[in-house]
């Protein structure tokens, strides 16, 4: 497995593979790899001839006071994990190389970025869109793999790819969970023992909401109140950032649940902000 930190050799490697007729898959990550990432890599490995993983803890998608400093960094373990899953090359640039030209350019999709996670993280999605566009230009793969846990991110990237005509297919893969239901996340490593015990309440609250919606289609605000009550009881150390029920395509809040909806929430345990979501009512698990 190659580990490449410079932009031009990375692009050249991809272009050689494509010229040889290979299908190239890309799994973009911030590092801190876990089974969620490895499920994306495994899927790419099954569907593509060549699998590239980018590991870049992109500073521009973290706001002031967010957990950039606390984000798990474990490059050796990440590289070993990639190697064991059959990755062909890891792209691991530093921020100086990625933003050498000043980084004045910003890509925004206001319409999808001002709700859910974007409400408390206004600079997050512009940072994500911009770095993902950069990665697509550096690693011009045929397919890129993202996780459904970051539903809003996946939807926004799909919209960007469509709007800007990037010649890449976005594949969204199901959320991978711990046995107790907690969605895999690099940030789980930053939970205290007590917080880790409470964290499965996020998924449990979503399951409860899905069950209620399936049974009685209550108004969205009733479902939200029930989720908040569940979280308050089962995750008392968590501070709710949002609980929303939205249209899966537009992310606009909905009032009624008798239709496909996305139930999404974010809860902070100290600096570790956990998110989870569930599509309810017959819609597929992918945006």
| Binding test (CB under 8 A) with a copy of itself, winner from 7, 208, 228, 283 | 7
- Confirm if 168 and 142 have CB atoms less than 8 A apart: yes
Q: Does residue 164 touch a copy of itself according to CB under 8 A?
A: yes
Q: Both tokens of residue 199?
A: 């964290």
- Shorter beta-carbon distance to a copy of itself: residue 64 or 105: 105
Nearer to a copy of itself, 167 or 179 (CB): 167
> What sign does the dihedral 167-41-66-96 (CA atoms) show?
negative
* Stretch in the footprint of a copy of itself (CB under 8 A) among 157-165, 187-195, 200-208, 266-274: 157-165
Min dist. Cβ of residue 135 to a copy of itself (A):
8
Among 13, 48, 82, 112, binds a copy of itself (CB under 8 A): 112
Query: What are the CB-based long-range contacts (under 8 Å, 24+) for 209-216?
Result: 209/245, 209/263, 209/278, 209/280, 210/263, 210/278, 210/280, 213/257, 213/261, 213/263, 213/280, 213/281, 214/280, 214/281
CB of residue 11 vs a copy of itself: minimum separation in angstroms?
A: 6
Q: Does 23 bind a copy of itself (CB under 8 A)?
A: no
Q: What is the DSSP letter of 187?
A: G
**Contact call for residue 114 and a copy of itself (CB under 8 A):** no
Q: Does 173 bind a copy of itself (CB under 8 A)?
A: no
CB of 6 to a copy of itself, least distance (A): 12
Q: How far apart are the first and last CA of the chain?
A: 32
Residue 140 in contact with a copy of itself, rule: CB under 8 A: yes
* CA nearest neighbour of 227 among 252, 178, 261: 261
Dist. CA 48–CA 65, nearest whole Å: 39
How far, CA to CA in Å, does 192 sit from each of 115, 158, 239?
A: 29, 35, 15
Active site residue 230: no
Of 19 and 193, which CB lies nearer to a copy of itself in the complex structure?
19
DSSP 239: E
**Residue 255 engages a copy of itself in binding (rule: CB under 8 A):** no
| Residue 110 in contact with a copy of itself, rule: CB under 8 A | yes
Whose tokens are 């909905």? That residue is 254
Binding of a copy of itself by 104 (CB under 8 A):
yes
Q: How far is the CB of 223 from a copy of itself (least distance, A)?
A: 28
Burial (CB count within 10 angstroms: exposed 0-12, middle 13-18, buried 19+), residue 233: exposed
Rounded Cα gap, residues 116 and 239, in angstroms: 15
Residues between 74 and 103 with contacts to a copy of itself, criterion CB under 8 A:
101-103
Which of these is catalytic: 37, 142, 203, 230?
A: 37
Single residue of 9, 77, 94, 111 touching a copy of itself by CB under 8 A: 111
Q: What's the rounded Cα separation, in Å, for the pair 162 and 182?
A: 32
Q: Examine residue 167 and tell whether it contacts a copy of itself (CB under 8 A).
A: yes
242, β-bridge pairs: 266
Binding residues vs a copy of itself (CB under 8 A): 7, 11, 19, 101-112, 129-130, 133-134, 137-138, 140, 159-160, 162-167
Catalytic sites, residue numbers: 37
């Amino acid at each position: 497995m190659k580990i490449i930190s410079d932009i031009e050799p990375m692009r050249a490697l991809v272009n050689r593979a494509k010229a040889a007729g290979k299908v190239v898959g890309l799994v973009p990550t911030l590092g801190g790899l876990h089974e969620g990432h490895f499920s994306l890599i495994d899927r790419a490995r099954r569907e593509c001839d060549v699998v590239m993983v980018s590991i870049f803890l992109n500073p521009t998608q973290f706001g002031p006071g967010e957990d950039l400093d606390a984000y798990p960094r474990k490059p050796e373990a990440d590289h070993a994990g990639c190697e064991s899953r059959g990755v062909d090359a890891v792209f691991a640039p530093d921020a100086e190389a990625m933003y050498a030209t000043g980084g004045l350019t910003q890509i925004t999709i206001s319409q999808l970025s001002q709700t859910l996670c974007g409400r408390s993280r206004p600079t997050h999605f512009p940072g994500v869109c911009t770095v993902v566009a950069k990665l697509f230009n550096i690693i011009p793969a045929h397919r890129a793999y993202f996780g459904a846990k970051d539903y809003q991110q996946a939807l926004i990237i799909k919209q960007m790819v469509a709007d800007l005509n990037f010649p890449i297919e976005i594949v969204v893969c199901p959320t991978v969970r711990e046995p107790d239901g907690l969605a895999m996340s690099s940030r789980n490593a930053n939970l205290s023992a007590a917080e880790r015990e409470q964290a499965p309440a996020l998924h449990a609250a979503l399951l409860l909401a899905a069950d209620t919606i399936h049974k009685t289609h209550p108004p969205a605000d009733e479902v939200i109140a029930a989720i908040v009550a569940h979280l308050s009881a089962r995750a008392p150390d968590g501070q709710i950032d949002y609980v929303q029920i939205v249209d899966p395509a537009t992310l606009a809040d909905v009032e009624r649940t008798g239709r496909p909806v996305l139930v999404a929430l974010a809860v902070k345990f100290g600096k570790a902000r956990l998110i989870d979501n569930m599509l309810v009512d017959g819609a597929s698990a992918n945006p």
